Homo-oligomer: A and B are copies of this chain.
């Protein structure tokens, strides 16, 4: 009457193996993306991802340095879909707008990636480097001096990322959106309570329909303004 646990028969063992493939960076990133898409970036913890793979958190550390690296690998995976144009100096403004717009759309489509991008001080992987290289390419091709191109590419990437991050904070659930609208009403009531000269301009703005514009109007406007300001550094000989 031994009380030792019965070991599983060998065919069970191999069945398990084929049902859940070996851990690898690829399977881990895939699981992390699944978790992020379903439950948001906050849920992409080492423990939660490991759970999705039927193992413990410690097992992931053989393939990934830490959580920050796992998040960066998600960003890289998402940016693989980026399509970069061949620079045409006469169309630099449209190309720039389209490229920054595309990176922003990619991040908006996967809420969570904008936050990773913002947290990743130094981009170190091909996907994100490709986006930066392409932006620089368009600017330099238009004859914009390197120093200016460098600063402009940095500012454009930062603004696009911050815009996507802010947009991705907007709750996706019906309940969350109702709560957000409630908070906006709350502050409108608060503003109209105050003496009229406390925040006169916010008050004046409130009389226009609040937050009613088309989703990307804000973003496009800011981009247009910045590109207009940038245009004076382009070389008219190249851009006609």
- Chain A residues with CB under 8 Å of chain B are 118-119, 121-122, 124, 129-130, 132-133, 136-137, 140, 146-148, 150-152, 154-155, 158-159, 161-163, 165-166, 169-170, 180, 183-184, 186-187, 190-191, 199-202, 204-205, 208, 217-218, 221-222, 224-230, 232
Contacts and interface: CB of A to CB of B under 8 A. Distances in A.
A137 B122 CA distance: 36
Nearest to A133: B199
A180 B199 CA distance: 43
Quick one: copies of this chain in the complex? 2
Contacts of A228: 228-229, 232
A132 B162 contact: no
Given A121-B180, A202-B136, A158 B151 contact: no
B118 A162 contact: yes
A67 B226 CA distance: 36
Contacts of A163: 158
B202 A121 contact: no
Given A159-B155, A162-B161, A222-B155, A146 B229 contact: no
26 contacts: A118-B118, A118-B166, A119-B169, A121-B170, A122-B183, A130-B199, A133-B200, A133-B201, A136-B201, A136-B202, A137-B201, A140-B204, A146-B208, A147-B208, A152-B222, A155-B159, A155-B218, A155-B225, A159-B159, A161-B162, A222-B226, A225-B230, A228-B228, A228-B229, A228-B232, A229-B230
